[in-house]
Amino acid sequence: MLLGIYLFLIVIVGILIIISLVGSRAKSDSVLGKMYESIYVKNKIIHGITEYLFYKPNPLLIILMGVLIIVGYVLLAIEPMKVLNSHGHWLIFPHLQFLGTLILYCLAIKTPPGYIKKSNLKVYQNRYPYDNILYKRESNCEYCHLEKIPRSKHCKRCGKCVARFDHHCPWINQCVGEKNCKFFLFFLLSMSISLITITYYCIIAIKYFMEDHNMTGKHPAIITPTTTIPLDLSLIFIILFNYMRYTIMMIILCSVMGVAVLCFFLNQLYITSKGYTTYEKIKWDRMYDEYQQYLNEIDKMTEEQQNDNSLEEVVNPDSLINYYDNGFLNNIKSALFPEKYPQANSKLKKHK
């Protein structure tokens, strides 16, 4: 029953991630884009459900993630931990890891991302100077009617301007911003370590089970007082699936999810270490795309057309400087502890 629930939750999570991330970014003329168009956009029921889950404030994905973590822990305790305990491995780390992951997830959910208000506007003005590339002194936010602070963005889902806006995460039902960025990163790290560790423990549990039942060695067999039944790979798998099905499924699911979450964490860490937020990285990538399109248009022109070029010149992003890049360690410290380590780049000061 628990295994069925867990598999169902994994499938639901997978579908939601594909719909929200892959489908929405696919090109409209691609196979995936056409599938996304026909299933998500034209189907009012699916569109409404996904729109509510990902674009409206709601606790459903938080509940789903919480159940996923708790059910995974219960499945670990039901089978693999019993085998490990029978061999004298009284492990404390998985319990502490589970508790730590749950606490970090709660902190990421409950800690506001850093909303910009009239009361703290001057604080953020001093903390985040303009770079005049991505962020220029412009008009106020059309929704909050406050000054557009550098590195901030108005989140339409939250209805507020968020300091050092990274992205809106439906899994924590709010934005990832200045205040909760560290908890979000630590949660991803803890989650990936937990999943990979569970995979390791499950593999060890399978190993012990096979050794206990004479399934290892050159001639694996079931030995009884009256007969000996040789075992081939198919029989071994059938026996394992009958007696260790939870453990086998945990190995498959946790290894895949562990690698996926770890990759997401490393991507977030890489972006942060380069002095970007996810939102800023997207903006820089768009600048590169626009410049590449500009070069492609120039290449298609004849020499006369190039001399009489009416195309608006696009600046090469390689000639621009990310003034928020303070170096690897300073970028990490600034992201994790923004109040203690504010933006203090010497390049940015000269630029100002």
Tell me what percent of the residues of the chain surpass a pLDDT of 90: 32
Whole-angstrom distance, CA of residue 296 vs CA of residue 10 = 43
Query: Which class for 96: exposed (0-12), middle (13-18), buried (19 or more C-beta within 10 A)?
Result: exposed
Convert the pLDDT of each residue in 121-155 to its tens digit: 999 988 898 888 999 887 789 899 899 999 999 99
165: how many CB neighbours lie within 10 A of its CB? 25
Q: Given pLDDT bands bounded at 50, 70 and 90, which one contains residue 111?
A: very high
List residues bridging with 167 in a β-sheet.
176
Positive or negative, the Cα torsion across 217, 222, 227, 231? negative
Q: Given pLDDT bands bounded at 50, 70 and 90, which one contains residue 118?
A: very high
Give the residue from 297, 108, 85, 304 showing the smallest Cα distance to 204: 85
Convert the pLDDT of each residue in 54-87 to its tens digit: 777 788 888 888 888 888 888 888 888 888 888 8
The larger pLDDT score, comparing residue 33 to residue 281, is at 281
Whole-angstrom distance, CA of residue 2 vs CA of residue 21 = 28
Query: Which class for 291: exposed (0-12), middle (13-18), buried (19 or more C-beta within 10 A)?
Result: middle
Whole-angstrom distance, CA of residue 72 vs CA of residue 66 = 10
Return all residues near 299 (Cβ < 8 A) that are at least 6 apart.
none
- What's the pTM value of the predicted model, to 2 decimals? 0.83
Whole-angstrom distance, CA of residue 47 vs CA of residue 55 = 11
